[in-house]
Structure 1
Amino acid sequence: MRTQVAIIGAGPSGLLLGQLLQRQGIDNIIVERKSGEYVLSRIRAGVLEQGMVDLLREAGVEERMDAEGLPHDGFSLAFDNRRVRVDLAELTGGKKVMVYGQTEVTRDLMAAREASGGQTIYEADNVQPHALDSDRPYLTFEKDGETVRLDCDYIAGCDGYHGVSRQSIPAERIKTYEKVYPFGWLGLLSDTPPVSDELIYARHERGFALCSMRSETRSRYYVQVPLDEKVENWSDARFWEELKRRLPEDIAAKLVTGPSLEKSIAPLRSFVVEPMQYGRLFLVGDAAHIVPPTGAKGLNLAASDVNTLYRLMVKVYQEGRTDLIPHYSQTCLKRIWKAERFSWWMTSILHTFSDHADFDSRMQQAELDYVTSSEAGLTTLAENYVGLPYESLES
Structure 2
Amino acid sequence: MTKSIMQTADRVIAATYKRFPIVLKRGQGCTVWDTQGRKYTDFVAGIAVCNLGHAHPRIADAVARQAKELVHVSNLYYTIPQTELAQLLVKNSFADRVFFGNSGAEANEAAIKLARKYFNDKGQPQRSGIVSMEKSFHGRTMATLSATGQEKIKKGFDPVLDGFSFVPFGDIEALKAAIDDRTCAVMLEPIQGEGGIRCPAPDFLKKVRELCDRCGVLMILDEIQTGMGRTGKLFAHEHDGVTPDIMTLAKALANGLPIGAMLATETVAAAFGPGAHASTFGGTPLVTAAALETLKMIAGEGIVDRARTTGDYFKDALKQLKLKHHCILEVRGKGLLLGIQLDRLADELVPVLMEKGFLVNCVQGDTLRFVPPLIVEKNEIDALIRCLDELLK
TM-score, structure 2 as length reference: 0.25
TM-score, structure 1 as length reference: 0.25
Which structure would you say has the larger RCO, counting Cα contacts within 8 Å and 6 or more residues apart? 2
Q: Which has the larger strand fraction?
A: 1
